């Protein structure tokens, strides 16, 4: 599929990692990715770090140039029909439903997942989101925001970069992410609903806090839940490994589209075969050959 929508000359500049060279699609006036280490860069990073430390989440409003929002949307619309559509019965940990768990464990609660994903191998390299995902200075900026020396692209050949499609009447139910650092961007907002809801740091590397998770899943933990309204072109940085989150049911007649840029602070992260089957309807040889690589001992 060829990338759709018009692009300005600035967006079509070389992606060379030269200082001062605009990063494709980014509003470099607001977010100086062409000036790594500059005062403006440090100010943007500092603001993001403060939000992440306090809330496990930050939103960089208007990250994509306003004249490219329609390009962002039309590329997503063109990709959406390639998503794997299947309503699945899952749990918040995306582990097999027949996993032996004690009575009262939140992993025993069955949820219905109706969202769909377009896998990375179906997203063309010339697409704006793919160019952004692989750009060294975008990766450097994200790493700085998370306080890391470097980030690694998600090794998973399907889940490294994907489009999340939530059709009207569907939702992406409560879950935790496999990778610790989640970077996403709304590309098309629905007519109604589709609110991003999350429970900041409801668990940690060493504590699952099953009681709190169970309360949220039973709709008894409203005090733990925050709601976030997003707009196309907003960049969201999120610690989804530790914060239970969902996309509420979508209303109206327009799908909700968002791109997920998956990175990790350790190399070699590949999702489990079970999760790949759930999300993409297929498993690659990489999934079958690789042991799950995680930076913690949490239930997935």
The CATH number given to whatever domain includes residue 144 is 2.60.120.620
Q: In terms of DSSP H, where are the helices of the chain?
A: 39-55, 69-79, 128-133, 136-145, 210-217, 273-280, 285-289
Angstrom distances, CA of residue 15 to CA of 60, 81, 132, 162: 22, 29, 9, 21
Distance CA 45, CA 33 (A): 11
Distance CA 175, CA 95 (A): 11
Residue 18 lies in a domain: no
- The 10s digit of each residue's pLDDT in 162-201 is 999 999 999 999 999 877 778 999 999 999 999 999 999 9
Residue 150 lies in a domain: yes
What was the pLDDT predicted at 1?
Answer: 38
DSSP classification of residue 50: H
Residue 216 lies in a domain: yes
Residue 297 lies in a domain: no
What was the pLDDT predicted at 142?
Answer: 96
Prediction pTM value: 0.86
What was the pLDDT predicted at 13?
Answer: 37
Q: Could you identify the residue written with the tokens 């001992």?
A: 297
Residue 110 lies in a domain: yes
Q: Name residues of the chain where pLDDT drops below 70.
A: 1-20, 291-295
Token pair recorded at residue 100: 């032996």
What was the pLDDT predicted at 18?
Answer: 53
| Domain that includes residue 267, residue range | 39-289
Q: Which of 182, 147, 189 is nearest to 161 (CA)?
A: 182
What was the pLDDT predicted at 2?
Answer: 35
Structurally, how many domains does the chain consist of? Answer: 1
Any residues with CB less than 8 A from the CB of 286 and at least 6 apart, and which?
Answer: 155, 156, 157, 270
Q: Integer distance in angstroms from the first to the last C-alpha of the chain?
A: 34
Residue 48 lies in a domain: yes
Q: Where are the beta strands (DSSP E) in the chain?
A: 57-60, 88-90, 111-113, 116-118, 152-153, 161-166, 172-175, 181-188, 192-193, 196-199, 226-228, 235-238, 244-247, 250-251, 256-264
Residue 34 lies in a domain: no
Any residues with CB less than 8 A from the CB of 231 and at least 6 apart, and which?
Answer: 61, 186, 189
């Amino acid at each position: 599929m060829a990338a759709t929508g018009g692009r300005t000359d600035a967006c079509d500049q070389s992606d060379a990692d030269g200082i001062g060279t605009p990063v494709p699609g980014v509003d470099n006036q607001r977010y100086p990715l062409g000036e790594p280490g500059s005062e403006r860069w440090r100010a943007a990073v500092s603001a993001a770090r403060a939000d992440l430390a306090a809330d496990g989440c930050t939103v960089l409003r208007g990250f994509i140039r306003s004249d490219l929002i329609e390009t962002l949307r039309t590329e997503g619309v063109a990709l959406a029909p390639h998503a794997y559509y299947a309503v699945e019965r899952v749990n918040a940990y995306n582990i097999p439903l027949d996993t032996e768990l004690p009575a009262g464990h939140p992993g025993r609660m069955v949820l219905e997942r109706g969202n769909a994903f377009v896998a990375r191998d179906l997203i063309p390299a010339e697409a704006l989101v793919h160019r952004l995902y692989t750009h060294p200075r975008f990766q450097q900026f994200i790493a700085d925001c998370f306080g890391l020396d470097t980030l690694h692209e998600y090794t998973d050949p399907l889940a490294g970069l994907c489009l999340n499609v939530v059709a009207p009447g569907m939702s992406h139910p409560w879950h935790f992410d496999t990778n610790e650092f989640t970077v996403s961007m709304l590309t098309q907002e629905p007519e109604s609903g589709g609110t991003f809801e999350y429970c900041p740091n409801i668990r940690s590397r060493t504590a699952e806090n099953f009681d709190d998770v169970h309360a949220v899943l039973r709709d008894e933990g409203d005090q733990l839940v925050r709601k976030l309204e997003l707009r196309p072109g907003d960049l969201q940085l999120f610690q989804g490994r530790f914060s239970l989150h969902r996309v509420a049911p979508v209303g109206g007649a327009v799908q909700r589209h968002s791109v997920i840029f998956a990175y990790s602070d350790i190399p070699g992260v590949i999702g489990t075969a079970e999760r790949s089957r759930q999300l993409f309807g297929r498993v690659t040889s990489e999934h079958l050959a690789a042991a799950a690589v995680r930076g913690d001992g949490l239930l997935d």
